[in-house]
Amino acid sequence: MPPANSANANRFWELDSAYEVRARRFRSPVKTHESSSFLNEVLSANGATDTCKQPRKAQASSYEEHQSSLPRLPIPSLQHTCSLYLKSIQAIATSEEYVHASKLTEEFLKPGGTGELLHSLLVKWDNTCNQPSWLEEFWDDSYLCTRDPIPVNVNYFFQLQPHPKQLNTSCRVSQVGRAASLLHAATQYYLSILDGTMAKEFERDAPVCMSQYRFAFCTSRVPGLRRDRKICYSTGPLTSDEQKSKFAEYVAADPTHCVVIIRNRFFKVEVLKDGAQCSVEELVLALKHIVDCATTCKDPGAPVGLFTTLDRTDWFHTRERLKVLGNSEVLQAIQSAIFCLCLDGVEVTSPDEAARIFFHGPGTNRWFDRHNIIVTRDGSAGINWEHSVGDGGTALHIADFMFRRDCERFFSDRDVESLQEQTGKVHLPVGMVSELQWRLDNGLDKLMKAAFTDFKVLIESSETHVMHFQTFGGARIKTREFVTRRLCSGGPAAYLLPSFWAKLCHVRGGQHTQFLSWTDGMRSKHLTCRMGFLLCGI
């Protein structure tokens, strides 16, 4: 059965191959990757400069025991919050502005005033909401109720540094080889979550909440009419907090597959069999088989992934139409997949172009409601993360694990060819790969064209440039020098976010409301309350 086609499919694929990321008006002066030390720092937890030297602390406790040992997220006192507010604006407010803010804060704190009323309502909510945290509903609403397209506006990306062997030799890494290696590592991490062997997270030897790890795999954002849904496919036992949650849906399933997207065609790849992983070599052969299938066919698939770039309410109605046409099983396969992998036909020629590809691309060959591993033809790799199911800290640990495992193996194009020749030793299991077939109509075809036009406008309104700043990094920010000089006392994020905001004020000529965040809401026995988000310019 031929792949579902769109009248504009060829046009979309041509744009995917020669997209304007190569012809933007503004260009970065940086044309090549600098030393790997910079990206080591970028991809390190808590600002460490060498991820390989920062193993997480492993404890024998189970995931349930780890989570149950955590205190409920407390509500800071009103006085403490207001004092912290005044302290935080001291560095950016003029004397007159600070005096004015102090008077408003004093009025806000008056007995029987607005502050006490709002604080009492929050405490009452905490006592009666019967949810894992007083913050959960507000936090999830901030992501799931937005109606804006999620690429650019919500999703974020990590770029992985080049494979170390490729940096040290003239040998070029194979696209399918690196993709298989990263996919195998992601599946390995998923299995460690299922069997409880995943290293537990700690802050100063105290356990830190790890609830988001369940949603890193086999979980999808699903569009809703007014509020999106977060659906997790798992048969694993739920913790007491997860049983209380009203904003995550659990479907009893044990997914064993990943979804691969290439030239807008969707393939289902079985990566687990009887609870065991397929080998990296089997994954290489599976992906090579998929690439051969996709490239030997003249026409690309219809760019159905463009629907995930729509306004969320429009995407909800479009998804309903897809279901009516008989695409429920395809949608279910994508939603329940362990991970999604996108194989792009472009090659990266600059850091700016790489950032644009991994951040948004042309909207085709993606499924933005899921986390997407993206590997280009030259072996450059990145991950586009859907934000509602998890924050940067969780994603950082997973990406770091995947990269470290990827460094342990290397496949050149010649290695892949040799592997194909050794079919007697390594073969593709029967039924490991199958193509997902879309059923579309003329109305959806027209909507895809409109979606592409709208998405093109969105990304052209966003300029993405890469700056390699190597003067200092996270490790130095945490040194006594920065703390004693009062440059920073809260870690790299506390230093960077106000810096970004100050630059925005400079660029825009004044203060503007802007949300900048390091979203690792944290519960720990050693922390009263650490909510890593900052709303600037109120």
Q: Looking at residue 103, what is its pLDDT?
A: 97
Which of 171-185, 228-242, 320-334, 491-505 bottoms out in mean pLDDT, i.e. has the lowest? 491-505
Let me know if 512 is a catalytic residue.
no
- Whether the predicted pLDDT of 383 surpasses 60: yes
Phi-psi region of 26 (alpha: psi -120 to 50; beta: other; left: phi over 0): beta
* Domain positions in the chain: 9-67+143-460, 78-132, 471-538
- Whether the predicted pLDDT of 172 surpasses 90: no
**Residue 194 Cα to chain centre, angstroms:** 20
Check 33, 163, 184, 387 and give the catalytic one: 387
Starting at the edge strand found earlier in the chain, the sheet holding 249-251 runs 219-222, 229-233, 249-251
Task: Find the mean pLDDT for residues 508-519.
Answer: 59
Report the distance separating Cα 106 and Cα 114, nearest Å.
11
Q: Looking at residue 221, what is its pLDDT?
A: 98
**Where is 81: in which H helix or E strand?**
helix 78-89
Q: Looking at residue 528, what is its pLDDT?
A: 31
Q: Which amino acid is at 191?
A: L
Which of 190-199, 247-256, 383-392 bottoms out in mean pLDDT, i.e. has the lowest? 190-199
Kindly give, in sequence order, each residue whose CB lies less than 8 Å from that of residue 461, ignoring residues fewer than 6 positions away. none
* 413 against 26, higher pLDDT: 413
Q: Is 22 helix (H, G, I), strand (E, B) or coil?
A: helix
Q: Looking at residue 527, what is its pLDDT?
A: 33
Which segments of 312-462 are extended strands (E)? 340-343, 372-375, 381-385, 433-436
Considering only CA atoms, which of 219, 222, 221, 223 is closest in space to residue 232? 219
Task: Find the mean pLDDT for residues 346-354.
Answer: 94
Phi, psi of 412, rounded to the nearest 5 degrees:
-90, 175
Half-sphere exposure of 81 (CA within 13 A, CB side): 15
Identify the band that residue 202 occupies on the pLDDT scale cut at 50, 70 and 90: confident
Considering only CA atoms, which of 333, 299, 303 is closest in space to residue 318? 303
- Whether the predicted pLDDT of 25 surpasses 60: no
Q: Looking at residue 15, what is its pLDDT?
A: 45
Identify the band that residue 392 occupies on the pLDDT scale cut at 50, 70 and 90: confident
Report the distance separating Cα 503 and Cα 490, nearest Å.
20
Identify the band that residue 353 occupies on the pLDDT scale cut at 50, 70 and 90: very high
Phi, psi of 49, rounded to the nearest 5 degrees:
-90, -5
- Whether the predicted pLDDT of 2 surpasses 70: no
**Could you identify the residue written with the tokens 């998890």?**
390
* 389 against 483, higher pLDDT: 389
- Whether the predicted pLDDT of 62 surpasses 90: no
Task: Find the mean pLDDT for residues 381-385.
Answer: 97
pTM: 0.83
Task: Find the mean pLDDT for residues 478-501.
Answer: 66
**Where is 376: in which H helix or E strand?**
none
Q: Is 90 exposed, middle or buried (0-12, 13-18, 19+ CB in 10 A)?
A: exposed
Phi, psi of 250, rounded to the nearest 5 degrees:
-115, 125
Task: Find the mean pLDDT for residues 349-371.
Answer: 96
Q: Where are the alpha helices (DSSP H) in 412-479?
A: 413-421, 442-460, 474-477
Report the distance separating Cα 210 and Cα 134, nearest Å.
17
Which of 283-297, 329-343, 407-421, 483-497 bottoms out in mean pLDDT, i.e. has the lowest? 483-497
Q: What percent of the chain has pLDDT over 70?
A: 80
Q: Which residues pair with 176 in a beta bridge?
A: none
Fold held by 9-67+143-460: Chloramphenicol Acetyltransferase (3.30.559)
Identify the band that residue 32 occupies on the pLDDT scale cut at 50, 70 and 90: very low
Q: Which amino acid is at 149?
A: P
Q: Which amino acid is at 509?
A: G
- Whether the predicted pLDDT of 56 surpasses 80: no
Task: Find the mean pLDDT for residues 20-26.
Answer: 36
Radius of gyration of the chain (CA): 24
Identify the band that residue 508 occupies on the pLDDT scale cut at 50, 70 and 90: confident
Q: How far is CA 383 from CA 209, 278, 290, 457, in A?
A: 23, 22, 20, 23
Q: Looking at residue 391, what is its pLDDT?
A: 86
315 and 223 in contact (C-beta within 8 Å)?
A: yes
Q: Looking at residue 479, what is its pLDDT?
A: 76
* 457 against 239, higher pLDDT: 457
- Whether the predicted pLDDT of 92 surpasses 50: yes
Q: What percent of the chain has pLDDT over 90?
A: 56
Virtual torsion, Cα 447, 448, 450, 455, nearest 10 deg: 140
Q: Which residues pair with 506 in a beta bridge?
A: none
- Whether the predicted pLDDT of 257 surpasses 60: yes
Kindly give, in sequence order, each residue whose CB lies less than 8 Å from that of residue 75, ignoring residues fewer than 6 positions away. 119, 122, 123, 126, 134, 529
